[in-house]
Structure 1
Amino acid sequence: MNELIISLEPQDNTRLQSLCGAFDEHLALIEKSFNLVIARQGFSFTIQSADENHYSAHLIQNAGKLICQLYNETAPIKGKIKELDLEDIHLAIQESRMLLQSQWQPSGGEIAIKTKRGVIKPRGEHQQRYLRNILSHDISFGIGPAGTGKTFLAVAAAVESLERQEIRRILLTRPAVEAGEKLGFLPGDLGQKIEPYLRPLYDALFEMLGFEKAQKLMERNVIEIAPLAYMRGRTLNDAFIILDESQNTTIEQMKMFLTRIGFNSKAVITGDVTQVDLPRHQKSGLKHAIEVLSEVEELSFNYFDSQDIVRHPVVAKVVQAYDRWEAEDEQRREQRRLEKSLEKIQQKTVEALNLEQTKILEQAENL
């Protein structure tokens, strides 16, 4: 097990009290923020990971530097020792996280995600750009057909952020179009009611974390899975939030989701604008968001096509065939609309000519 032992110098009990806080509450906050166990004996600190993963050693070293930095900040100025409060500790933790993120931030070349279950490498230029944008933007959209890895890569990025302790929880959500707001009428508890709609998200979690680990995290609410309707009124801080199947959100639901995002949070919205299941009179919240938000620089929009599909090769051909049919069908419908318009014009023209002819005949009879 990785561990780090540090000793603080010079030894000063008043400075030590300022560093640790009342009942060691400052140390407890550092422990919780980075998922660590910090044992203190006098001026000696032993730092261990509460849950070993690929990033444990980095987090332990980072926490050691943070403790030393905070102790240095208590150094007396003009004979007066600085009293640290929880706000100082929160700020120092945020700065420490930003430093870690800058060290882990990809810089050109290929990008990969490392989890306990192995290394996940995006395939192709579009997936590479998508993952890079997820890591560098607070809000990212992944738009394209099924099988292009939109949801899988988003979940992988969320799991990596959790293991790095950049965030404290993962929230996965999806609109339950078939049930709408009537989930309460379905049998079972909330999890059983919404499980069929969220199964793809469960599958991705189990693949990356393993069944037992994912279940434990869900029991502790570190990973939360809920229908979109249950997010109203919440503000989500220190979280990685994924909205899947967003083409089935209404405009109001999409706006509600985007305004739930709090401090130190990241959101990924995935969807396929060709697979909208909403009633015909309702516009997709995803389509509307693309129109309204595409010029906002802080957001990233990432588009996939049939060439990016990573399922069975025949799936790409199926999608291409449907795309061609839909394009041709749109042309056929446009042609029918034109023909109907011409028929109406011709009919009105004939009616006008007949009316004019009738008038002429009536005038001739009256002469």
Structure 2
Amino acid sequence: MDDRLARAVLSFRAARRRRHLERQDGTPSPAAPAVPGARGWAARAAAVAVGAAVLTGVGAANAQAEQAPARAGWDGTRYWYKDETGWWRWTRHHAKYQARTQAAERASAERTQAPARAGDASSAGRGEPVFRGRSGWDPVDRVYWYRDESGRWRWTGHRSKFEQRHTLGASTTTRAATNAPAAPGPADRTAATSGSTAKRKDPTAPRTAAPARGLERAIAFAEAQVGEPYVWGGEGPNGWDCSGLVQEAYRKAGIALPRVAVDQYRAATPITRSQLRRGDLVFWTDSGSVSGVHHVAVYLGDGKYLEAPRPGRNVRVSSFSSYNPNLYGRVG
């Protein structure tokens, strides 16, 4: 507005000077063409500028900014959270608070863990995909995982490259396993006696469950956190939210999981309630769909699970009778 006003004043002065010269010699000045209505335009611009200044002053005098909270969660009167754009918001409804904090977590995860769409892990220059313990297509990071000739895990965004290298890596691994000396055992003695070759499992095939010892390490870590406070966005060691606790517990067992509950469900193998066993994950969704997942816990068996429940509560062991999950997954 200041620039427009300055231009208007200059135009007005030029027009006034031109009229003064015309009165002296009786002819219009060719060096400065007439600008009709310059005086009126300048007056209108000045009026707009003054009006804007007045309105700005009124707004500044009457605006009452609400002070941002010190942290997210319940402050005694309302739930505070940051939306997808990073602005502080509040609500008095716990369900709405959970849904919107999960949405903000998903948006943050997408920004910080943007996966590269093509190339191998050894040459990736952008965000690295997260390996989830199985070969093939990863719908979360949208890449293909395979083992190379040396047995190392690699990824690519190209299906044709995956098929070529997956086959090559599998054949190399199979040859190495066939030529390696096997420890003597009943199965080997039977195979040697019959003259047949024992079949070995393809190491690149998807695993249905992690070793029991690994799962017990995850459970032991989670149980050690019982009594720690719930902290929104907490990743330990002095506070946890639901998905932060699950991610860290399974990391102790050598299993990499995404950060938020909905992505953890997508990374797991869906199972039914009747298939649940100790070390599986249980999830809650308001809408009945995967996109509505907002809470996750570690299943302990006998209808009990370990969770970081909500603001104002501590990490605890709960049962299906108190808060019933409706989705189930197996990782590893």
Question: Which of the five TM-score ranges fits, normalised by the shorter chain?
Answer: under 0.3
Higher relative CO (CA 8 A, sep ≥ 6), structure 1 or 2? 1
